[in-house]
Amino acid sequence: MIFVTGDIHNSDFHRFKKFKSEFKPTKDDVLIVAGDFGLPWYNTESMNHSSDLFYIKQLSEKPFTTCFVDGNHENFDLLNALPQVEMFGNTCGKLSDKIFHLKRGNIYTIQGKKILALGGASSVDKAWRIIHEQKKGQKVWWNQELWSFEDEQNCLKNLDAHEWKVDFVISHTCPSVIIDKLVPKGTPLHSDPTQKILEMVFADLQFAKWYFGHWHVDEIIDEQFCAIYQNVRRVE
């Protein structure tokens, strides 16, 4: 089976224990995190690097496979430096033998289901962060949180190859029309260019269900869209 959960931010791993007790996952199951996974986060010279290694080891020892799309709160320097491997019919970043980064715009076949990965989003807290550096006691953000032209072209190429038909979408943020159901119109949260890219995809894509994180809510929006945060849901 395929499962999905929301933002973990390199700290909220208690839900994996609940997931194990509730669903009793096996080696054949896959859990996908809808962005802001937060691993890897610390450079090797950081005093906190060992915490990354601890969580990676703990997850890698679980019976299931963990995958994630990128969010906005990721260390993109480290994420983009991961070894690239072929997995689920497309290119992934490999964090361990049991943890994989599903890259933006790629379509993966997992347990016979086509899944479109749409990571990325704009950080609304940039005013409280510094850009692209890691300094003790300071939070950071990366320009790579937003889609590049190459990301867009890769997405369109993959969609064309699959005739714009997938089973499921896993993204970090969501199309603007869905945000209208979460927050009032005219708020700064509508200024994210990623939402407009997802709006373009949504307009022509055929799919059964779209799961997204980012908003820190667990809410079924309508028959196709589901916001996911601390819950773990079966993808169906």
- Contact partners, residue 212, CB within 8 Å, separation at least 6: 34, 35, 169, 170, 171, 172, 173, 174, 178, 225, 226, 227, 228
pLDDT tens digits, the chain, 236 residues: what are they? 999 999 999 888 888 888 999 999 999 999 999 999 999 998 877 778 888 999 999 999 999 999 999 999 999 999 999 999 999 999 999 999 999 999 999 999 999 999 999 999 998 766 667 666 555 555 777 789 999 999 999 999 999 999 999 999 999 999 988 987 887 655 555 578 999 999 999 999 999 999 999 999 999 999 999 999 999 999 99
pLDDT of residue 132: 64
pLDDT of residue 228: 97
pLDDT of residue 181: 83
pLDDT of residue 190: 59
- Please list, residue by residue across 178-193, b when 16 or more beta carbons sit within 10 angstroms of its beta carbon and e when fewer do: bbeebeeeeeebeebe
Question: Tokens standing for 11?
Answer: 């700290």
Domain hosting 8: range is: 2-234
Domain CATH code at residue 219? 3.60.21
Question: Tokens standing for 143?
Answer: 């320009």
pLDDT of residue 18: 87
pLDDT of residue 133: 56
pLDDT of residue 123: 85
The pTM (predicted TM-score) of the whole model is 0.93
pLDDT of residue 78: 94
Question: Tokens standing for 189?
Answer: 């949260």
pLDDT of residue 17: 86
- Contact partners, residue 152, CB within 8 Å, separation at least 6: 105, 197
- Give the chain's domain count: 1
Could you tell me if 67 and 76 are in contact, meaning their C-beta atoms sit under 8 angstroms apart?
no
Residue of 87, 76, 96 whose CA lies nearest to 36: 76
